[in-house]
A and B are shown apart, each in its own frame.
Chain A
Amino acid sequence: MNPVVRTERLTKRYGHTTALRDLDLEVSGGEVFGLLGPNGAGKTTTLRLLVDLIRPTSGRVLLFGEDVAADSVEARRRVGYLPGNLALYDDLTGAKLLKLLAGLRNHADLTVAHRLAERLDLDLDRRAGELSKGNRQKLGVVQAFQHQPDLLVLDEPASGLDPFAQRELHAAVREHADAGGTVLFSSHVLSEMEQVADRVGILLDGRLAVVDRVANLKANALRALTFTFDTPVDAGVFDRIPGVRDVTVSGCTVACRVVGNVGELVRAAAGLGLVNVTSAEPDLEDIFLDYVEKRESHVT
């Protein structure tokens, strides 16, 4: 089966700056894919290329197996898009905006939109210009979902939403994928990836640093461990163990970080009069910062 989204060496340059470099990405049907990266990493550029708002300098985008450059209108029929820098017609009420956009799709049925608006606690009878930032974002989310597209392209969808609305958004994203739909969304908020993404791609400086399942990323991540002993110990013992780094000793307590298997480290610690050990579950923040660090040390 064709992947729903496929990019081939997708590159976008603006003058001398390269916003995106040789991006090869595949997202399959039913998958929620998260594009993670700091501001300016190329997330918005990637998503705007997908919906043909901007054109690649080189490489190409295939949606549903078809080259977007050949017929982007046909591709967009099956795509719902939430712009990152959402702008709305301030003079239109939510209901009128949804009707206008549905009209452009020949999609007369507004029941999905109304149901989602209700879930997000969004009043569709108010003009967009009167809405708070969070409510404007909700309206943006609803218009992306309203025609039940095969592919949702959401640029920072949770931006500005309150925790309740974020939870509903994430639930709606999951339901969409469970029903066979595909979601590609961007975020610089890491916890969001953990909650909804099946796979995550980390973009740094226009390059895709890594793509993996959230679980695998975490398994390969640096794990922070803290040992407490009954007598002060020598840091050197820990430094020699493969995969261990950032060892700090203060009195009877040793803190370090370790990649992968912790067995050898724990065995060594056990022989030194171990009293207690605590281990923090690695979160994506650490994983993310690891890649940033690796990249920076690579550059220098």
Chain B
Amino acid sequence: MSRDLVVKSLRDNRAGTIAWGLVLVASVALQMAVYPTVRDAAAGFEQLLSSYPEAFKAMFDIQGTFADGAGYVRAEVFGLFAPLVVLGVAIGQASRCTAGEERAGTMDLLVANPVSRREVLLDKAFAVLVDLVVVAAALAAVLLAANALVGLDIPPVDLVVASLLSAVLALPFGALALLVGALTGSRGLAVAAPVGAAVVTFLVQTLAELADWLRPWRVLSPFHHAGLGDAVSGNADALGALVLLGTAGILLALAVLAFERRDLATR
């Protein structure tokens, strides 16, 4: 591993990661700030929630009640918002630092040095991993603070685990961005492919709650394996996390193979 390359990649990613992180922290802080109001009006909310269509509730992982902190956090934070942000970080940074750098032409400058393509790609993938851990840590920090301040009554370890799992959820999507970027050198495709995969697999996971015929297909959805909502409730799925890590590892290995073999594009 080249320290210079990792540091350079982290520095290139920094502005984007900070921006995504701030959006996440600020939004979650706001959501948590209104929690006491929601809790106090729980009865009214429950009436409102029961009138929501099932599809809507499934999509946002609304489990019937906002009266307890776990129900609120899994719906408001981990239902859609946190996955959206971590996927944004993973896909955005992974595509930018590989296909994006190739399109910009600076990849020539790097690869002309005595470093292997494998090392360049792995160093950059490592930098994206660091970004994800930072964002997950920020998410955990704001949730822990909220837990203490507004009394979510969630065991802190569950909040930390769910936050880290959101980063794990993002790994296969980031690795897919690396793979498509390595195969094509196109940043557009490196973004579009994992975004498309995320939309489809998210819908499969959420709509399976409504349509029984979809249920067997859930095993193909990273959102199913991440089980972020259940992790908030103390039922983290270790096997699911391993499936995500394994998938990301395979995609990353394929990305290395593709990048080692391909002609680099000229500007």
Residues of B within 8 A of A (CB): 2-5, 8, 12, 104-106, 108-116, 261, 263-264, 266-267
Contact indicator B8/A100 (Cβ below 8 Å): yes
The answer to whether residues A55 and B263 also contact, given A87-B106, A104-B2, A104-B4 and a CB cut-off of 8 A, is yes
Taking CB atoms, residues of chain B closer than 8 Å to A85 are 105, 108, 266-267
Contact indicator B109/A54 (Cβ below 8 Å): no
Q: How far is the CA of A89 from the CA of B111 in the complex (A)?
A: 14
**Interface 9-mer from A25-33, A72-80, A201-209, A213-221:** A72-80
What string of 1s and 0s marks CB contacts (under 8 Å) between A90-125 and chain B? 000000000011011100000000000000000000
Taking CB atoms, residues of chain A closer than 8 Å to B111 are 52-53
Contact indicator B108/A87 (Cβ below 8 Å): yes
Taking CB atoms, residues of chain B closer than 8 Å to A53 are 108, 111-112, 263-264
Tell me which residues from 128 to 160 in chain A have a Cβ below 8 Å from any Cβ of chain B. 143
A49 closest partner in B (C-beta) = B263
Taking CB atoms, residues of chain B closer than 8 Å to A54 are 263-264
Within the complex, the shortest CB–CB distance from A56 to chain B, in Å, comes to 10
B119 closest partner in A (C-beta) = A73
The answer to whether residues A100 and B115 also contact, given A83-B108, A87-B109 and a CB cut-off of 8 A, is no
A185 in the interface (beta carbon within 8 A):
no
Which listed residue (B2, B105, B112, B266) contacts A51, Cβ 8 A? B112
Contact indicator A104/B115 (Cβ below 8 Å): yes
Taking CB atoms, residues of chain A closer than 8 Å to B106 are 87-89
Contact indicator A105/B109 (Cβ below 8 Å): no
Other than the given A53-B263, A103-B3, 15 more pairs (CB < 8 A) read A53-B112, A55-B261, A76-B112, A79-B112, A81-B112, A84-B266, A85-B105, A87-B104, A87-B109, A88-B106, A89-B106, A104-B4, A104-B5, A104-B115, A143-B109
The answer to whether residues A44 and B266 also contact, given A83-B108, A87-B108, A88-B109 and a CB cut-off of 8 A, is yes
How many residues of A are counted as interface, with CB atoms below 8 angstroms from the partner's CB atoms?
A: 26
Which listed residue (A48, A74, A89) contacts B114, Cβ 8 A? A74
B112 closest partner in A (C-beta) = A81
A268 in the interface (beta carbon within 8 A):
no
Q: How far is the CA of A103 from the CA of B114 in the complex (A)?
A: 11
Within the complex, the shortest CB–CB distance from A143 to chain B, in Å, comes to 8
A210 in the interface (beta carbon within 8 A):
no
Contact indicator B113/A104 (Cβ below 8 Å): yes
Q: Can you give 28 contacting A-B residue pairs, CB < 8 Å? A: A48-B266, A51-B112, A53-B112, A54-B264, A55-B261, A73-B114, A73-B116, A76-B112, A76-B114, A79-B112, A81-B108, A83-B108, A83-B109, A83-B112, A85-B105, A85-B108, A87-B104, A87-B105, A87-B267, A88-B106, A88-B109, A89-B12, A100-B8, A101-B109, A101-B113, A104-B2, A104-B115, A105-B114
Within the complex, the shortest CB–CB distance from B3 to chain A, in Å, comes to 8
A85 closest partner in B (C-beta) = B267
B120 closest partner in A (C-beta) = A104
Within the complex, the shortest CB–CB distance from A2 to chain B, in Å, comes to 20
